[in-house]
Chains A and B, each alone.
Chain A
Amino acid sequence: MSIKLEQLCKTYNVDTDFPVHAVNHLDLEIKQGEFVAVMGPSGSGKTTLLNMLGGIDTPTSGKVLIDDNNILELHDKQLIAFRRDNIGFIFQDYSLLPVLTALENVEFVMQLQGHSEEECRKRATDLLIRVGLAEHLHKRPAKLSGGQQQRVAVARALAPSPKFVMADEPTANLDAKSTAELLDIMQQLNEQEGTTFIFSTHDPRVISRAKRVIVFEDGLKKEDTIQAESP
Chain B
Amino acid sequence: MLVKLAWRNLWRQKRRTILTASALALALILSLVMRCIQEGSYSANIENIARLSTGLIQLQHPEFKDSQSIDDLLSADPEFIDFARELSTVETILPRIESFALAASGDKSKGILVFGIDPLPEDIYSSLSKKVISGSYFSERQNKGDKPQVLIAEGLARQLGLQPGDELVLYGQGYRGQTAAGLFTIQGILHFPMPQLNNQLVYMSLQSAQYLYSTGDLVTSWVLHTDSLADVEQAASALKQYYQQGVNVRDWLDLSPDLAQQILMDRTSGLILMYLLYGIVGFGLFATLLMMTLERQREFAVMLATGLLRSKLLKLICIESAFIGLLGIIIGLLIAFPILIWLLFNPITLTGETAQLMLEMGYDPIIPVLLDPQLFINQIVVVLGLLVLCLIYPLLRLYKIDLVSALKGGAHAA
State the A residues within 8 Å of B (CB): 51, 54, 56-57, 76-77, 80-81, 83-85, 88-89, 91, 95, 97-100, 104, 107-109, 111-113, 156, 160
Q: A76-B310, A98-B12, A99-B12 are in contact. Are A54 and B305 (CB under 8 A)?
A: yes
Instruction: Assess the A80–B307 pair: CB atoms within 8 A.
Output: yes
Instruction: Assess the A91–B302 pair: CB atoms within 8 A.
Output: yes
State the B residues within 8 Å of A (CB): 1, 4-5, 8-9, 11-12, 298-299, 302-310, 312, 403-404, 407
Instruction: Assess the B403–A84 pair: CB atoms within 8 A.
Output: no
Instruction: Assess the A160–B12 pair: CB atoms within 8 A.
Output: no
| 6 A-B residue pairs with CB within 8 Å | A56-B403, A77-B309, A80-B307, A95-B302, A98-B12, A112-B307
Instruction: Assess the A109–B403 pair: CB atoms within 8 A.
Output: no
**A31, B11: Cα distance in complex, Å:** 44
Query: What 18 new A-B contacts, CB under 8 Å, besides A56-B305, A57-B403, A99-B11?
Result: A56-B403, A56-B407, A57-B404, A80-B307, A80-B308, A80-B310, A83-B305, A83-B306, A85-B307, A97-B5, A97-B303, A98-B12, A99-B8, A99-B12, A104-B4, A109-B306, A113-B307, A156-B306
B304 proximity list for chain A (CB < 8 A) = 80
B306 proximity list for chain A (CB < 8 A) = 83-84, 88-89, 108-109, 112, 156
Instruction: Assess the B308–A100 pair: CB atoms within 8 A.
Output: no
B309 proximity list for chain A (CB < 8 A) = 77, 80-81
- Closest chain A residue to B409, Cβ basis: A93
B5 proximity list for chain A (CB < 8 A) = 97, 99-100, 108
**A99, B10: Cα distance in complex, Å:** 10
Instruction: Assess the B12–A89 pair: CB atoms within 8 A.
Output: no
Instruction: Assess the B307–A109 pair: CB atoms within 8 A.
Output: yes
Q: How far is the CB of A94 from chain B (nearest CB, A)?
A: 10
**A98, B12: Cα distance in complex, Å:** 9
Q: How far is the CB of A199 from chain B (nearest CB, A)?
A: 16
Instruction: Assess the A95–B308 pair: CB atoms within 8 A.
Output: no
Instruction: Assess the A107–B299 pair: CB atoms within 8 A.
Output: no
**A98, B306: Cα distance in complex, Å:** 15
Q: How far is the CB of B412 from chain A (nearest CB, A)?
A: 14
Partner of A160 from B299, B307, B312 at Cβ < 8 Å: B307
Q: How far is the CB of B351 from chain A (nearest CB, A)?
A: 55
Q: How far is the CB of B10 from chain A (nearest CB, A)?
A: 9
B12 proximity list for chain A (CB < 8 A) = 98-99
- Closest chain A residue to B311, Cβ basis: A77
Partner of B404 from A51, A84, A108 at Cβ < 8 Å: A51
Q: How far is the CB of B292 from chain A (nearest CB, A)?
A: 13
- Closest chain B residue to A111, Cβ basis: B1
Q: A89-B302, A91-B302, A95-B299 are in contact. Are A84 and B307 (CB under 8 A)?
A: yes
B312 proximity list for chain A (CB < 8 A) = 112
**A216, B410: Cα distance in complex, Å:** 24
Q: How far is the CB of B410 from chain A (nearest CB, A)?
A: 13
Partner of B299 from A88, A97, A112, A156 at Cβ < 8 Å: A97
**A85, B11: Cα distance in complex, Å:** 31
A84 proximity list for chain B (CB < 8 A) = 306-307
Instruction: Assess the B9–A99 pair: CB atoms within 8 A.
Output: yes
Instruction: Assess the A95–B9 pair: CB atoms within 8 A.
Output: no
- Closest chain B residue to A156, Cβ basis: B306
A91 proximity list for chain B (CB < 8 A) = 302, 407
Q: How far is the CB of A220 from chain B (nearest CB, A)?
A: 21
Q: Which of B4, B302, B306, B403 has the most CB of A within 10 A?
A: B306
A51 proximity list for chain B (CB < 8 A) = 404, 407
A57 proximity list for chain B (CB < 8 A) = 403-404
**A109, B306: Cα distance in complex, Å:** 7
**A51, B402: Cα distance in complex, Å:** 13
**A98, B299: Cα distance in complex, Å:** 9
Instruction: Assess the A56–B404 pair: CB atoms within 8 A.
Output: yes
Instruction: Assess the B307–A83 pair: CB atoms within 8 A.
Output: yes
- Closest chain A residue to B12, Cβ basis: A99
- Closest chain A residue to B1, Cβ basis: A111
**A113, B4: Cα distance in complex, Å:** 18
